[in-house]
């Protein structure tokens, strides 16, 4: 890993107008899920791409992975965000995964990666798998906040943020009244079974529906297939000209890890649907002897 100057994620700035970062590619368009037909996916990635780290460049061309681009140029010295085989979800779609580093204190970490829709969307579901390095801990026993996804609109450059808290999980709604809404349970401590990360992959999904009159927006969040949070009545300012959201930042800022060194947050098997709840990937049997699990799951995608 190359060592460069230290940058801190003190603030996130709104993304400027850029060309669409995604065009249909070889990424899977559907995924099965247990007990229900799978919705057609707008986009998905299992990071079946070349290895990448931030100093390789932040452009879509430099990242070279299913239309993703880098976002912030900041990182902790010696710990760049990266696409690496070490971050692969072993029972997912194969390839690699995205590794986002988080350092002690507030808002010290890598710059994340970025997906842009071709057009603003008033409703979508985004499903992802994520694990924190085993033993990852926070000052006070859980995250004061960990901003997982920054979801922006071209009308309102500020963001909806999927948030992890010590006890709950929810959103920060910065389009509207600037409030946060979160569950009282089902957050870090419940997911991890204590104060320290279990080091396991967990499945997360968020559903956002834009309001039409300032009172009927929706947010839903699932963890490991179970709905953890729903809040109706959101004011996302859809009634004042916002046509939808058009970008998602994956991996952002947080407060306050307490590990004595940077520790990682891995992401993989990210999928976006416009047509309904996606759900976890279908469970796979153990790979046959003599064949790598990554190779086998890569074949199963039917690519
Ligand atoms: Ca993968």
- Tell whether 104 is covered by a domain: yes
| pLDDT tens per residue across span 235-248 | 888 888 888 999 99
What whole-number distance in Å separates Cα of residue 141 and Cα of residue 219? 26
What separation in Å is there between the alpha carbon of 173 and the centre of ligand 1? 30
Q: Which long-range contacts (CB under 8 A, 24 or more apart) does 188-194 make?
A: 188/138, 188/142, 188/143, 188/146, 188/164, 189/141, 189/142, 191/223, 191/224, 192/132
What are 153-197's pLDDT values in tens digits?
Answer: 887 777 788 999 999 999 998 877 778 999 999 999 999 999 999
Is 260 inside a domain boundary? yes
Cα–ligand 1 centroid distance for 88 (angstroms): 4
Task: Classify residue 25: in a domain, yes or no.
Answer: no
Q: Look at residues 42, 234, 60, 12 and name the one whose alpha carbon lies nearest to residue 121.
A: 42
Task: Output the pTM of the full model.
Answer: 0.84
CA of 99 to the centre of ligand 1 (A): 11
- Tell me if 13 is assigned to some domain: no
Does any domain span residue 7? no
Q: Could you list the residue range(s) of the whole structural domain that residue 206 is in?
A: 41-281
Residue 275 counted as domain residue: yes
pLDDT in tens, 86-136: 999 999 999 999 999 999 999 999 999 999 999 999 999 999 999 999 999
Q: Are 141 and 189 in contact (CB under 8 A)?
A: yes
Scanning the structure block, which residue is given the tokens 């279990």? 198
- Ligand 1 centroid to Cα of residue 245, in Å, is 25
C-alpha 89 to ligand 1 mean position (Å): 5
Would residue 289 count as lying in a domain? Answer: no
Q: How far is the CA of 292 from the centre of ligand 1 (A)?
A: 14
SS3 track for 88-141? CCCCCCCCCEEEEEECCCCCCECCCEEEEEEEEECEEEEEEEEEECCCCCEHHH
User: What's the number of domains the chain is made of?
Assistant: 1
Q: Is residue 2 part of a domain?
A: no
Q: What CATH number is attached to the domain comprising 91?
A: 2.60.120.200
């Amino acid at each position: 890993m190359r060592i460069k100057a230290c940058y801190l994620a003190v603030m996130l700035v709104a993304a400027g107008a850029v060309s669409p970062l995604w065009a249909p590619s070889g990424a899977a368009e559907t995924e099965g899920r247990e007990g229900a037909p799978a919705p057609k996916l707008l986009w998905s990635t299992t990071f079946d791409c070349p290895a990448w780290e931030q100093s390789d460049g932040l452009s879509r061309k430099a990242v070279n992975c299913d239309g993703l681009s880098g976002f912030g140029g900041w990182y902790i010295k010696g710990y760049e965000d990266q696409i690496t085989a070490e971050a692969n979800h072993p029972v997912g779609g194969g390839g690699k995964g995205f590794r986002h580093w988080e350092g002690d204190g507030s808002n010290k970490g890598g710059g994340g990666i970025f997906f842009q829709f071709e057009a603003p969307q008033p409703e979508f579901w985004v499903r992802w798998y994520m694990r924190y390095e085993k033993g990852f801990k926070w000052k006070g026993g859980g995250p004061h906040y960990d901003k997982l996804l920054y979801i922006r609109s071209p009308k309102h450059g500020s963001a909806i943020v999927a948030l992890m808290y010590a006890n709950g999980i929810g959103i920060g709604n910065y389009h509207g009244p600037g409030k946060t809404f979160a569950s009282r349970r089902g957050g870090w401590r419940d997911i991890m079974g204590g104060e320290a990360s279990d080091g396991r992959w967990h499945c997360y999904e968020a559903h956002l529906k834009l309001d039409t009159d300032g009172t009927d927006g929706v947010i839903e969040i699932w963890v490991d297939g179970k709905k953890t949070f729903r809040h109706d009545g959101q004011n996302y300012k859809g009634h004042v000209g916002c046509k939808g959201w058009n970008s998602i930042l994956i991996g952002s800022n947080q407060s306050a890890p307490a590990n004595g060194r940077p520790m990682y947050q891995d992401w993989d098997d990210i999928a976006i649907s416009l047509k309904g709840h996606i759900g976890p990937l279908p469970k796979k049997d153990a790979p046959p002897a003599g064949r790598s699990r990554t190779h086998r799951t890569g074949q199963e995608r039917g690519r």
